[in-house]
Structure formats: structure tokens, C-alpha cells
Amino acid sequence: MIKEKYGKVVKGLGGLYEVRIDDGGSVSRLACRAKGVLKRDETKVLIGDNVTVSIDGSTPDGIVISRISERKNSLIRPPLANLDYIFIVFAAAKPSPVIETVDKLIAIAVHNSITPVVVVSKSDLGSDAAEEYASIYRLAGIDTFVTSSEAGEGISELSDYIKENVKEGRTSAFAGASGVGKSTLMNALFPELTLATAEISRKIERGRHTTRHVEIFDIDSSESTGFLADTPGFSLIDFARFDFFSLEELLPTFPELLPYVGECRYADCAHVGEGEDECAVARAAAEGKIAPTRLESYRSIYRVLKEKTSY
Ligand SMILES: Nc1nc2c(ncn2[C@@H]2O[C@H](COP(=O)(O)OP(=O)(O)OP(=O)(O)O)[C@@H](O)[C@H]2O)c(=O)[nH]1
Ligand SMILES: [Mg+2]
Ligand SMILES: [Zn+2]
């Protein structure tokens, strides 16, 4: 007899998945593979997928993911489905951030209806720099935290925010460049996790990236828990090509620009090089209402997308 269960894919390594099953409050994890068609690139199972697992007790390999429920969204990097929040982590220093990459990730999040939250980590290595970066994102209307796992700064504030917002089955992820301290921060926020961080992995020589796979954790043990994923850090090359959406879709991914776009002198103003007397967006940036780095990132992405559409 074939039984069906319904759950969430929380981990996947070499084609072997772990599906979190919640049977009315009693949580278990099933190890299983995916049905043939769900192994192909276009239809592959993603971590975060809500799936049906078919259990056929009559065969040894009888537990398989047989169906993927419709996704709310899915990302290529980090490779996750059904995200509600993404915590974009970058360090005040070591490594110093590439702001344009941060802005690209925010744009991708907004485009996919994922709430972006900015976390400036390692504030112990530069508290002025951390506050300066934070002010850019607060001005953009994005929830922003300054943290140091080393000094304990901002940990309880971020933990409260996560518990208040990421609950009732909502799913979130930490994303950011390798070495910014994502796993360390997750350990500081949720001490019961004990994830591997750089120091540990150096000893066992796993190479530069410490976290090698995406894994989703329960935030607490209540029935209304939310989920939080740790992800492997990406490199800059991952965002060098930018084709996650089209030129027409770019503007709404920078929401703080929207109040000004109708006020430019020319209706077809692209806000990319026009002077302050013509472009209300440029004017707002000059007046300190929009962070100059955000406008620079907008313009840079605009140029890349423009080039793509013009051949
Ligand atoms: N000074 C300082 N160092 C930190 C802090 N948080 C993490 N680190 C160090 O930064 C290094 C990288 O930390 P990880 O947590 O492994 O970084 P990660 O973002 O998970 O990296 P990947 O898994 O490769 O993506 C480790 O040596 C940590 O000890 C912090 O708040 N302050
Ligand atoms: Mg890590
Ligand atoms: Zn303009």
C-alpha cells in the first residue's frame, strides 16, 4: 500500500533529500530520493520546496518525493524555493563589502516578493563603517541590523526580529559572500545549532567555503515555528552576469526611487545620467534623500540590462 505524506525539503546532498514532515505537531525527517522526472534540471527539487512524499512499504527504495507543490518563488543563488525573508549579510570589514552585489541581491529579492533585511556583521572590526553602511539601507526603507557575533552586539535585536516575523511556517535565509560570518551569526542567534564555521573547517581543510550546502532549520520547537536557512557564501562571479529580470522590471526593485520618478522633466527620463535640474531622482540623491551608492547601483544594473536588450 502506498501512503502519502506532505512536508518541506530542508536539505539535499548528492540527490539524497531530507523532508521535514509535521504530523500534527510531531515532527520527523524522512530521507529520500526524488522521482526520476524531479531530477532533471528544469524540474529539479529545491531546498524549501513543499513536496508530497510517497511511501511504498513493499520496496526497499520505496520512499520518494513524487510531487512538488507550486512555488511562491525560487532563487538561483542561494538555491532556495518559497522564501519570505532574505537576510543579506555583509561585513563591516574582512571582507569589505561590494555594495553593488548587496544591491543586486536586494533587487532580486524585491523582484521575487521576498522581504530583504540587511545585516551588517563584524561591527567589532569597524563600528563607524558598520553604521555608515547601515544608514544607506535604513534610508532605503529596509529593515537593517548591525551585529557582532564576537562582541555580542545586535544579536538579541536580530533574534527578536526573526522570532516576531519569521513564524508560522514562513521561510527565510541568510545569504551573502563567503566569510562574512553567516554561520557564526546563526550559531550566536540559535546556540543549539552549532554549525561549522571557518575556524573549525580550516582544521579539517575543507577549503575556502565553509558552508557547502543549503540547510533549513526550525527556528524554535513550537508548532508555529518558522524556518531559517544557512547557505554557502557566493563569490562575486555569481553576480557578474545579471539577467535575473528585464530592464522594464528594474525600477520597482529600487522602491525608494519611485516617489521621484514622476517628477523628472521628461517623461522618458531613465535617471541614469540626466542632470539634477532634469532628473528628480538625481536631485533627491543630491539632497540626501536617496543614498548615492543606491543610485549608482541602479544605474550600473540599468546599463547591464540595457546592453542585454539592445542586441
Ligand atoms: N571579528 C569578527 N569575526 C567574525 C565575526 N563573525 C564571524 N567571524 C569570523 O569570520 C570567519 C568566517 O565566519 P563564517 O561564519 O564561517 O562565515 P560564513 O559567512 O558562514 O562563510 P561561508 O560558509 O564560507 O559562506 C570566521 O573566522 C569567524 O570566526 C564577528 O562578529 N567578528
Ligand atoms: Mg557558513
Ligand atoms: Zn529622472
Domain boundaries, the chain: 2-68, 74-239, 247-309
74-239 placed in CATH 3.40.50.300 = yes
For 205, phi and psi rounded to 5 degrees?
50, 60
Q: Is the C-beta atom of 8 inside 6 A of ligand 1?
A: no
For residue 188, the ligand closest to its alpha carbon is 1
Helix (H), strand (E) at residue 254: none
At the topology level, CATH places domain 247-309 in Ribonucleotide Reductase Protein R1; domain 1 (1.10.40)
> Ligand 3 (ion): which residues have CB within 5 A?
264, 269, 271, 279, 281
How far is the C-alpha of 164 from the C-alpha of 39, rounded, in Å?
36
- Decide whether any atom of ligand 1 lies within 6 Å of the 184 Cβ: yes
β-bridge pairing 144-146 and 115-121 = parallel
Among 123, 184, 235, name the best residue to mutate to test ligand 1's pocket (greatest count of ligand atoms within 8 A of Cβ): 184
Please provide the size of the chain in residues: 311
Q: In a mutational test of the pocket of ligand 1, which residue from 190, 197, 204 has the highest number of ligand atoms less than 8 Å from its CB?
A: 197
Cβ partners under 8 Å of residue 205, min gap 6 = none
Contact call for residues 271 and 277 (beta carbons, < 8 A)? no
pLDDT digit of tens for each residue in the chain (311 aa)?
A: 889 999 999 999 989 999 999 988 789 999 999 998 788 877 899 999 999 999 998 877 789 999 999 999 999 888 999 999 999 999 999 999 999 999 999 999 999 999 999 999 999 999 999 999 999 999 999 999 999 999 999 999 999 999 999 999 999 999 999 999 999 999 999 988 766 666 544 444 444 578 889 999 999 888 899 999 999 998 877 887 778 899 999 999 999 999 999 999 999 999 998 889 999 999 999 999 999 999 999 999 999 999 887 65
Residue 203: count of CB within 10 angstroms of its CB = 7
CATH superfamily of 2-68: Nucleic acid-binding proteins (2.40.50.140)
Hey, which residues does 222 pair with through a beta bridge? none
Give pTM, 2 decimals: 0.94
Ligand closest to 263 (CA) is: 3
Of ligand 1's listed atoms, the one at least distance from the Cα of 196 is 16
Atom of ligand 1 nearest to the CA of 201: 16
AA letter at 111: H
> DSSP assignment of 16-34, as one string?
EEEEEEEETTEEEEEEEEE
Judge if the beta carbon of residue 122 lies within 6 A of ligand 1.
Answer: yes
Q: Which ligand is nearest to the CA of 299?
A: 3
∠ CA 140-106-240, rounded to 5°: 130
CA of 232 to the centre of ligand 2 (A): 6
Alpha-carbon distance 30 to 64, whole Å?
A: 10
Q: Does 95 sit behind a cis peptide bond, omega within 30 degrees of 0 on the bond before it?
A: yes
Query: Strands 85-91 and 80-81, how do they pair?
Result: unpaired
Nearest-atom number in ligand 1 for the CA of 234 is 25
Indicate if ligand 1 lies below 6 Å from the C-beta of 198: yes
> Residue 105: what residue type?
L
Which residue has its alpha carbon closest to ligand 1 atom 3?
A: 122
